[in-house]
Amino acid sequence: MKERDVVVIGGSAAGLTAALTARRHYPSKRVLVVRREEQVLVPCGIPYIFGTLKDPEKNVMPDAPYEANNIELLKADVTELDRDKKLLHASAESVRYDRLVMATGSLPIMPPIPGFDIDGVFAIQKDIDYLRRLFERLQAAKDVVIIGGGFIGIEFADEIKKMGNANVTIVEMMPHCLSLAYDDEFCVEMEEVLASRGIAIKTAAKVEQIQGRDHVKSVLLSDGSEIMADAVILGIGAVANVDLAKKAGLRIGLTGGIAVDQTMLTSDPSVFACGDCAEKISFFGGRPSGLKLASIAQMEARIAGANLFGITRQNYGTVGVWSTCVGDFALGTAGLTEAMARQHGYDVVVATVEGPNRHPGGMPGMAQTKMKAVFEANSGVILGGQVRGDTATGEMINAVSAGVQKRMTVEDIATFQIGTHPALTASPVVYPLVNAAEVAISKMRGRV
Strand partners, 324: 331
Is 142 a binding residue for a copy of itself by CB under 8 A? The answer is no
Q: Is 415 in the site for a copy of itself (CB under 8 A)?
A: yes
Of 354-383, binders to a copy of itself (CB under 8 A) are 359-360, 362-365
Greatest alpha-carbon pair distance for the chain in Å reads 72
With CB under 8 A as the contact rule, the residue among 27, 198, 285, 288 that binds a copy of itself is 27
Residues in the chain: 448
Give the number of residues in contact with a copy of itself, rule: CB under 8 A.
Answer: 85
To 5 degrees, how large is the angle CA 69–CA 67–CA 41?
Answer: 100
Does 176 interact with a copy of itself (rule: CB under 8 A)?
Answer: no
Terminal Cα distance for the chain, rounded: 71
Taking CB under 8 A as the criterion, the residue among 39, 263, 405, 409 binding a copy of itself is 405
Position among 106, 241, 289, 324 found at the interface with a copy of itself (CB under 8 A)? 324
Site for a copy of itself in 60-99 (CB under 8 A): 60-61
Helices 432-444 & 393-405 angle (0-180, nearest 10): 40
31 near a copy of itself, judged by CB under 8 A: no
Look at strands 2-9 and 31-35 and give their pairing. parallel
Among 81, 242, 271, 330, binds a copy of itself (CB under 8 A): 330
Distance CA 35, CA 12 (A): 9
Tell whether residue 290 is a contact of a copy of itself (CB under 8 A): no
CB 403, min distance to a copy of itself, A: 6
Residue 296 contacts a copy of itself per CB under 8 A: yes
Single residue of 2, 3, 25, 444 touching a copy of itself by CB under 8 A: 25
Query: 74 - beta bridge partners?
Result: 34
Among 4, 8, 10, 17, binds a copy of itself (CB under 8 A): 17
Residue (of 394, 295, 296, 335) closest to 181 by Cα position: 335
106 binds a copy of itself (CB under 8 A): no
Q: Does 282 bind a copy of itself (CB under 8 A)?
A: no
- Check binding of 42 to a copy of itself (CB under 8 A): yes
Cα separation of 275 and 254, whole Å? 16
Rounded CA separation 7/256 (Å): 23
